[in-house]
């Protein structure tokens, strides 16, 4: 007889780990115990050495489906006295240094879905059905280790039958912390905006909510990460009413489809897209809309001018019940007022959404940490996954972790518009969910709450704090504040270097023996403060021998009225076309009032404006010239429209060898965008088809990159920045680089947009060797 102590780390809590260990112990005749701690799962195994080895192997080789084991320690210890008679689950331990991956929220598993629809099952139509393999986790967690007492399930006492499932080793709900049923139910009720109950009782409340939807009303539903606003997507008046009330004139809405076959009535869905749609993470997946949707989907109201829709499956039992009953696609968009983060408390919902939602489907379980739905898409040719938002289902765990020393503790604050922070602690890397635009006060509060929550759960004091170079960003100021309180060092990382660092680290360049090959970084986005004080955004950076260097960029053009330019593509077009006076007049003057036009010309003539090399603003300008919009109601609108028409042109065509627009270089080696815009403007004036112009404009970027890579002999090129949410551009870049035997590096786990900045900031010291351990 021997005894072994086994310690397992990683994503091992909230995934049914202890129950499975107990099953294996019984199978291999092992006695002892298993328990959750703040640093993983601890096991005492007593039995014959051969059986213990088999037991250990089974745990490592066949862990629970959702578990991720990052480390395990197996060591012999003296046989305890008395020898344990059997194997059991011991009380969790909360002492020690927290070191755990936090399990993200999981969608609904197939078994729970089946029970929901099975009339003979006791959870038939119970809207909070879960098991050890599914349901909320991160969003209901107050503290570690993961036990019912430290979650929002704490106030709900299990009934006798749930308790017996919980204690039954052979039950799927053995040790399921989110266990509940219609007897010991989380209550669901329908209210008006005053919070008065209109209908209680799950079935009746759902029934009435569905009736409201059928009548074209707007229903706010409390889900896993926060409230969603639902309305019938086949009724254009309903969708337009939601647009009006939400003050959201044209930004596309996500859709909830009853199932994959219903989605296939309206969209072309590839195998990869279908797999993502059905996955336990259940993100919103962008798919190509059919020319005539078969469900009567009001496509023009849901996603104007895009040719794509974002669709997700009902990932909670409640959404499944609603969806199943109504059978049509529903708009399902985060409930917030424009620009603010998702609302997640009943009282806030009643107060803030009273003018938007007609009724509220609430429940009495708290959401601890709010999260939006994740959004992703796949490129057409390369079948590459692009994250547009990494949130519910994915956050806050990130694997593989950055290879910092275990003793290293760092906090990276991220950027501004698409905020997220990253934490390195005890050898694990955490990346928060998307936390929204930090211009808004509410977003700032959610950012602070989420950061404080994770810091407290991990009991972590970061030794170094990484921020953006921009001193006025809320995230930067918060980082400096935290550093001052805790005596930590701060390091400012330039925005585009952080983007580049993120894609490099994701591709192994931060690992102990990184590839030696120098890399050209193509970093295209809207805004980031440069080291010369200008607004960078169309950048070619080199990474070699642990150093970043700016190799080239788009030629500078004047910034007109700061942030206003980011909302008004007509200002971008004017700034870029200004030196071609006659063309500017012909194409743009009509887009301005008689007061505005001379005013902007005077500003430009004065010539003392901040300069930008923004790729995002160039996309905006070209979109404006193509007639896609002079003013934008959401970020990236013109770029998305330009991508849509270019993709239409590209469909079924081979990659042309030449581009209609020559890459012209300025004497200082920048790509001359004033020339490019003038050539595009000339085509517009000559009546060239906008689809063709948009396509060659996409191609132009590839030729720029090819030229610079060739000139400096780069064999590897990395792509990052918000512009690479553009699936067509990613595909063209991939084709172009491969054709010239250049290896392309893309993001895989992170979004190319500013949500990935924090991760890049955290990877920065590994890539540059500037270590503060």
Residue 114 tokens read as 């089946």
Residue 106 CB, shortest distance to Zn ion, in Å, is: 8
Residue 282 tokens read as 């259940």
Q: Per CB under 5 A, does 131 bind Zn ion? A: yes
* Nearest CB to Zn ion, comparing residues 312 and 443: 312
- Determine the interface stretch with Zn ion among 124-132, 490-498, 587-595, 677-685 (rule: CB under 5 A): 124-132
Q: Per CB under 5 A, does 256 bind Zn ion? A: no
Q: In this structure, what DSSP letter does residue 150 have?
A: G
- For residue 254, the cross-strand partners are 310
Q: Reduced to 3 states, what is the DSSP secondary structure of residue 567?
A: helix
Q: Per CB under 5 A, does 280 bind Zn ion? A: no
* Nearest CB to Zn ion, comparing residues 177 and 419: 177
**All residues at 6 or more sequence positions from 530 whose CB lies less than 8 Å from its CB, including other chains:** 494, 495, 496, 536, 613
Residue 104 CB, shortest distance to Zn ion, in Å, is: 15
* Nearest CB to Zn ion, comparing residues 15 and 417: 15
Contact 487, 461 (CB under 8 A): no
* Nearest CB to Zn ion, comparing residues 159 and 278: 159
Residue 553 CB, shortest distance to Zn ion, in Å, is: 51
* Nearest CB to Zn ion, comparing residues 186 and 335: 186
- Determine the interface stretch with Zn ion among 91-99, 151-159, 679-687, 710-718 (rule: CB under 5 A): 151-159
Q: What is the DSSP string of 464-507?
A: EEEEES-TTSHHHHHHHHHHHHHT-EEEEE-HHHHHHHHHHHHT
Contact 143, 458 (CB under 8 A): no
Residue 163 CB, shortest distance to Zn ion, in Å, is: 8
DSSP H or E run through 385: strand 385-389
CA–CA gap between residue 620 and residue 603 (Å, rounded): 20
* Nearest CB to Zn ion, comparing residues 317 and 721: 317
* Nearest CB to Zn ion, comparing residues 18 and 550: 18
Residue 210 tokens read as 């569905």
Contact 303, 641 (CB under 8 A): no
Cα Rg of the chain (Å, integer): 27
* Nearest CB to Zn ion, comparing residues 131 and 343: 131
Burial class (CB in 10 A: 0-12, 13-18, 19+), 38: buried
Residue 218 tokens read as 């707007």
- Determine the interface stretch with Zn ion among 53-61, 133-141, 144-152, 749-757 (rule: CB under 5 A): 133-141
- Determine the interface stretch with Zn ion among 31-39, 152-160, 204-212, 717-725 (rule: CB under 5 A): 152-160
Residue 100 CB, shortest distance to Zn ion, in Å, is: 22
In 150-246, at which residue ranges do the beta strands (DSSP E only) sit?
188-191, 197-200, 219-222, 227-232
- Determine the interface stretch with Zn ion among 115-123, 132-140, 657-665, 669-677 (rule: CB under 5 A): 132-140
CA–CA gap between residue 433 and residue 373 (Å, rounded): 10
Residue 276 CB, shortest distance to Zn ion, in Å, is: 19
Q: Kindly write out the interface string for residues 86-115 of this chain, putting x where it contacts Zn ion by CB under 5 A and - elsewhere.
A: -----------------------x--x---
Residue 121 CB, shortest distance to Zn ion, in Å, is: 12
Q: Reduced to 3 states, what is the DSSP secondary structure of residue 582?
A: helix
Q: Reduced to 3 states, what is the DSSP secondary structure of residue 237?
A: helix
Choice from 134, 356, 435, 524 touching Zn ion (CB under 5 A): 134
- Determine the interface stretch with Zn ion among 156-164, 395-403, 535-543, 601-609 (rule: CB under 5 A): 156-164
Q: Kindly write out the interface string for residues 182-221 of this chain, putting x where it contacts Zn ion by CB under 5 A and - elsewhere.
A: -xx-------------------------------------
- Angstrom CA distances, 506 to 224, 476, 754, 762, stand at 29, 24, 15, 12
Q: In this structure, what DSSP letter does residue 52 have?
A: H
CA–CA gap between residue 658 and residue 644 (Å, rounded): 21
Residue 398 CB, shortest distance to Zn ion, in Å, is: 25
Residue 157 CB, shortest distance to Zn ion, in Å, is: 9
Contact 295, 267 (CB under 8 A): no
Q: How many residues bind Zn ion (CB under 5 A)?
A: 10
* Nearest CB to Zn ion, comparing residues 183 and 610: 183
Contact 330, 310 (CB under 8 A): no
Residue 158 CB, shortest distance to Zn ion, in Å, is: 6
Residue 130 CB, shortest distance to Zn ion, in Å, is: 6
Residue 307 CB, shortest distance to Zn ion, in Å, is: 36
Q: Reduced to 3 states, what is the DSSP secondary structure of residue 548?
A: strand
Q: Could you give the count of Cα atoms lying within 13 Å of 540 in the half-sphere of its Cβ?
A: 23
Q: Kindly write out the interface string for residues 158-187 of this chain, putting x where it contacts Zn ion by CB under 5 A and - elsewhere.
A: -x--x------------------x-xx---
* Nearest CB to Zn ion, comparing residues 122 and 544: 122
* Nearest CB to Zn ion, comparing residues 105 and 506: 105
* Nearest CB to Zn ion, comparing residues 184 and 692: 184
Residue 391 CB, shortest distance to Zn ion, in Å, is: 21
* Nearest CB to Zn ion, comparing residues 2 and 159: 159
Contact 222, 349 (CB under 8 A): yes
Contact 221, 319 (CB under 8 A): yes
- Which positions lie near Zn ion, rule CB under 5 A? 109, 112, 131, 133-134, 159, 162, 181, 183-184
């Amino acid at each position: 007889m021997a005894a072994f102590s086994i310690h397992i780390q990683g994503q091992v809590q909230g995934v049914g780990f202890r129950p499975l260990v107990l099953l294996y112990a019984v199978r291999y005749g092992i006695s002892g115990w298993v328990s959750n701690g703040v640093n993983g799962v601890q096991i005492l195994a007593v039995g014959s050495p051969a059986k213990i080895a088999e037991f250990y192997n089974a745990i490592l080789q066949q862990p629970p489906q959702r578990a991720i084991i990052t480390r395990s320690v197996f060591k012999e210890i003296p046989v305890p006295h008395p020898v344990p008679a059997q194997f059991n689950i011991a009380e969790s331990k909360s002492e020690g240094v927290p070191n755990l991956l936090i399990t993200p929220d999981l969608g609904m598993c197939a078994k729970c879905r089946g029970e929901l629809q099975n009339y003979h099952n006791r959870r038939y139509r119970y809207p909070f059905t879960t098991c050890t393999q599914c349901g909320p986790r991160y969003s209901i967690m107050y503290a570690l280790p993961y036990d019912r007492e430290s979650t929002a399930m704490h106030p709900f006492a299990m009934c006798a039958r749930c308790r017996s499932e919980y204690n039954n080793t052979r039950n799927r709900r053995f040790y399921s912390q989110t266990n509940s049923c219609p007897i010991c139910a989380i209550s669901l009720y329908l209210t008006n905006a005053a919070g008065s109950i209109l209908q209680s009782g799950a079935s009746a409340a759902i029934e009435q909510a569905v009736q409201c939807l059928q009548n074209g009303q707007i229903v706010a539903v409390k889900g896993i990460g926060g409230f969603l606003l639902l309305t019938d997507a086949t009724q254009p008046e309903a969708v337009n009413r939601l647009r009006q009330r939400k003050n959201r004139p044209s930004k596309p809405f996500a859709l909830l489809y009853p199932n994959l076959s219903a989605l296939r009535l309206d969209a072309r869905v590839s195998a990869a897209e279908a797999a993502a749609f059905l996955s336990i993470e259940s993100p919103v997946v962008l798919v190509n809309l059919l020319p005539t949707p078969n469900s009567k989907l009001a496509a023009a109201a849901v996603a104007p001018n895009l040719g794509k829709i974002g669709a997700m499956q009902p990932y909670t039992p409640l959404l499944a019940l609603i969806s199943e009953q109504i059978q049509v696609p529903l708009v399902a968009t985060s409930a917030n007022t424009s620009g603010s983060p998702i609302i997640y408390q009943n009282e806030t919902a009643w107060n803030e959404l009273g003018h938007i939602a007609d009724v509220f489907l609430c429940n009495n379980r708290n959401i601890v940490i709010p999260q939006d739905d994740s959004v992703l898409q796949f490129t057409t040719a390369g079948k590459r996954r692009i994250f547009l938002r990494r949130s519910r289902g994915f956050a806050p765990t990130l694997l593989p972790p950055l290879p910092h020393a275990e003793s290293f503790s760092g906090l990276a604050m991220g950027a501004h518009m698409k905020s997220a922070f990253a934490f390195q602690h005890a050898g694990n890397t955490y990346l928060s969910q998307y936390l929204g635009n930090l211009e808004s006060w509410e977003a700032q509060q959610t950012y602070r709450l989420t950061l404080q929550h994770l810091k407290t759960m991990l009991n972590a004091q970061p030794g170094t704090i990484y921020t953006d170079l921009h001193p006025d960003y809320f995230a930067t100021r918060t980082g400096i504040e935290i550093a001052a309180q805790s005596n930590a060092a701060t390091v400012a990382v330039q925005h585009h270097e952080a983007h580049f660092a993120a894609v490099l680290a994701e591709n192994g360049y931060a690992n102990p023996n990184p590839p030696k090959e120098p890399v050209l970084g193509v970093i295209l986005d809207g805004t980031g403060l440069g080291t010369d004080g200008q607004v960078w955004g169309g950048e070619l950076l080199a990474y070699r021998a642990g150093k970043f260097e700016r190799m080239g960029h788009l030629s500078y053009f004047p910034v007109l009225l700061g942030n206003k330019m980011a909302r008004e593509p007509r200002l971008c077009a004017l700034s870029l076309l200004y030196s071609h006076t006659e063309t500017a007049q012909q194409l743009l003057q009509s887009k301005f009032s008689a007061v505005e036009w001379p005013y902007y010309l005077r500003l430009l003539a004065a010539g003392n404006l901040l300069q930008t090399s923004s790729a995002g603003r160039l996309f905006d300008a070209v979109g404006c010239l193509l007639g896609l919009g002079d003013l934008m109601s959401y970020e990236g609108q013109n770029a998305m429209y330009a991508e849509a028409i270019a993709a239409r042109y590209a469909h079924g065509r081979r990659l042309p060898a030449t581009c209609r627009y020559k890459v012209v270089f300025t004497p200082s080696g920048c790509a001359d965008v004033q020339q490019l815009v003038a050539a595009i403007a000339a085509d517009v004036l000559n009546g060239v088809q906008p689809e063709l112009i948009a396509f060659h404009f996409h191609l132009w970027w590839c030729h720029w990159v090819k030229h610079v890579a060739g000139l400096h002999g780069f064999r590897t090129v990395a792509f990052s920045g918000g512009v690479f949410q553009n699936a067509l551009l990613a595909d063209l870049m991939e084709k172009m680089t491969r054709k010239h035997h250049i290896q392309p590096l893309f993001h895989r786990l992170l979004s190319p947009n500013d949500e990935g900045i924090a991760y890049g900031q955290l990877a920065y010291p590994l890539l540059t060797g500037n270590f503060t351990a």
